Chain A
Amino acid sequence: MSTFAILILMAAGLTVGWSFFSEVKLQFLNKWVGKLQSIATMVLLFAMGLWLGGNESFWRNLGEVGLQSAVYAVAAVIGSVVAAYLVGRFCFGRKKQ
């Protein structure tokens, strides 16, 4: 999957969602889109699991994956919280505390 394909698919989805799925009469369809996305996510993760389970380097680096993901998650949360605090404090005034 290339970057170009990702952007084209996203743009197509946005166009379809904007033009059809936002109509009040058709909003029940959104539930099905959500369901399809959940199913596709499960299929994707099952396939990634199959690939990982048969991959020797995955079993060697299992503990490392857990540590790396925890550090990235904490780093991203701290970074965004600090940035949002600065924007809130200095661009939106003293409110909301």
Chain B
Amino acid sequence: MILSLACLLLGILAAWKLGSPNALVVDIVIRISLGAIILCAGIDIGAKRSVLKKLSTYGPKVFLVPLAVAAGSILGGLIAAPFLGMSYNEGAALAAGFGYYSLSSGILAGLGGPELGSLAFVTNIMREVFALAFIPLLAKLHYFCAIAAGGATSMDTTLGMISHSTDEETTLISMLNGVVLSILVPILVPLLYGSVR
């Protein structure tokens, strides 16, 4: 996370000091790295076969958790958008990153340009930071609230904090939640950006 942030700042500084590079080259580099990110994300989720199989043994009710997290996040983005002078489709798509900053910033950079991509990056990094800070507190409200704050990161970067603040069953639901939301990111972000206006 810090390394990625450093790379963004390095790029900004380089363009500022040395002048902007060829736009076509930058565009091609963005597209190739985006492709690699999506492919890797797919492999990473697909390889969690044991977690995906557990999904089927849990019954349909457990899907309510990621669905609620997805709906709540998107609703939050929709409510925030007009206050920031942005359109609903941008707000919904930014919130539908669910904290998965590499994937959502890549997709939105590809669909809406680097400006929107970097906004997605900072937004979703902030979500991860807020989640890490508030998970212990939210777990006191309800264990599912701790999972919700983490969003798609509830299967990796915030999982440790969630398992520390909740119990074993919640930790497993947290992983399922992260897997489902990660699969939803590449589906919902383009869909919301393209259709909700």
Please state if A45 and B35 are interface contacts (CB–CB under 8 Å): no
Q: Binary interface profile of B, 10-47, with partner A (CB < 8 Å = 1, else 0)? A: 11111110011101001001110111111111111111
Question: 8 Å CB contacts to B: which residues of A16-41?
Answer: 16-19, 21-22, 27, 30, 33-34, 36-38, 40-41
Interface centre among B12, B14, B127 (most CB of A within 10 A): B12
Please state if B26 and A13 are interface contacts (CB–CB under 8 Å): no
Please state if B123 and A96 are interface contacts (CB–CB under 8 Å): no
Min CB–CB distance A1 → chain B (angstroms): 3
Interface size grouping (class) on chain B: 35 or more
Q: Binary interface profile of B, 175-192, with partner A (CB < 8 Å = 1, else 0)? A: 000000001001100110
Q: Binary interface profile of A, 47-85, with partner B (CB < 8 Å = 1, else 0)? A: 111111111011000000111111111111111111111
Main secondary structure of the interface of A (DSSP, over half): helix
Interface size grouping (class) on chain A: 35 or more
Complex: chain A residue closest to B51, CB-CB: A22
Min CB–CB distance B107 → chain A (angstroms): 6
